[in-house]
Amino acid sequence: MLQGRVWVLDGGLASTLEQGGISVDGDPLWSARLLYTDPDAIKKVHASFLDSGAQIITTSSYQASIPGFRQHLGITEEAAVDLITLSVALAREAVSEHVANCGTEGAVSNFLYGAHQFLVAGSVGPYGACQADGSEYSGQYVNNLSTTDLIDWHRPRVAALVGAGVDVLAIETIPAAKEALAILELLAEFPSIKAWVTFSCKDGHHTNYGDRFSEAVKKCYEKGSDQLIAVGVNCSPPQHLSSLLREANASPPSPEVLPRVVYPNSGEEWVAGKGWEGRGSQWSYVDQVVEWRKLGASIIGGCCRLGPSDIKAIASVMSSCV
């Protein structure tokens, strides 16, 4: 699906909603609440990223879970599954409307490859994200959960996303190798689906939990079989990404065997209950994006605090990297 291609991923859904005047920071469901209260707002953000050059649209299911929806919305399990299904439908509708309005030739034509012109990626956030306590930025919860516990917790959302017809799963912002490996083991129950895994990392060498990044990449490759199509980093400070990619590239699998995916945040710090604080260090899109591409990144986009204008800048640089 990815070999020989470059793709522009979308940016931060919640932070783009915030910039549009819709407050989600501090909400235990984060942007997933809008699936219940204002789904059109989500579709508008998807459309804004498509208009900015994104080829891959990520569903608004990062902080969605069956238990979370039942607890915070007071709805049934069936209704909770319907909301996750809706996250896929909104992304699909945004893509269809974009193509109808622009035509595929006019829509980021430098990036049209093969049968796939746009992809919908089902967001599978970590267990910690749905605890709404910032624990995805440490991953310490994996010490108290078995692999079976993690598989059982992730299964309903993965099943709903696959059932709704996503093109690929984005297993993202994973703080610990243990959780990534558990989700990859779960994927064996859904043999038709492909996925990428991206870790959240605290420095240029380690995941937020403390795993050596190169070892985490290697273990995912060994576990993922042919269902794993890419591995990399997201929701991490941009200044760490080149170091992380170099570390991963120093040992098998190479980017030619397993493509890399990167989508950093802006470098700010997440404060539980408050949101993102403290503008991160400034960085050059031109210098960094070109370097990440040279280091094997086939998918490049943005995460928290990177909006449509940032994706437009990334798309512009990526067009010269094809």
Kindly list the averaged pLDDT for each block of 10 residues, start to end, along the chain of length 322.
80 87 82 94 97 97 95 96 98 96 53 62 95 89 98 98 98 98 98 97 97 97 92 94 96 94 77 49 67 95 89 88 60
Q: What angle do CA 287, 292, 293 make, to 5 degrees?
A: 105
What does the alpha-carbon distance between residue 66 and residue 75 come to, in Å, rounded to a whole number?
A: 9
264-302 per-residue burial string, b: 16 or more CB within 10 A, e: under 16: bbbbbebeeeebbeeebeebebeebbeebbebbbbbbbb
**Cβ atoms 146, 154 nearer than 8 A:** no
**Cβ atoms 184, 224 nearer than 8 A:** yes
Asked whether the bond before 253 is cis by omega within 30 degrees of 0, the reply is yes
* pLDDT value for 110: 34
- Please state the domain extents for the chain: 7-318
* pLDDT value for 2: 60
Strands (E), 22-114: 56-58
* pLDDT value for 292: 95
Q: Coil, strand, or helix at residue 164?
A: coil
φ, ψ for residue 113, nearest 5 deg: -125, 135
- How many CB atoms are located within 10 Å of the residue 89 CB? 16
Cα dist. 242→28, 49, 205, 232, 260 in Å?
A: 32, 25, 10, 11, 11
The domain 7-318 is placed in CATH, from the list 3.40.50.150, 3.20.20.330, 3.40.50.300, 1.10.10.10, at: 3.20.20.330
* pLDDT value for 287: 72
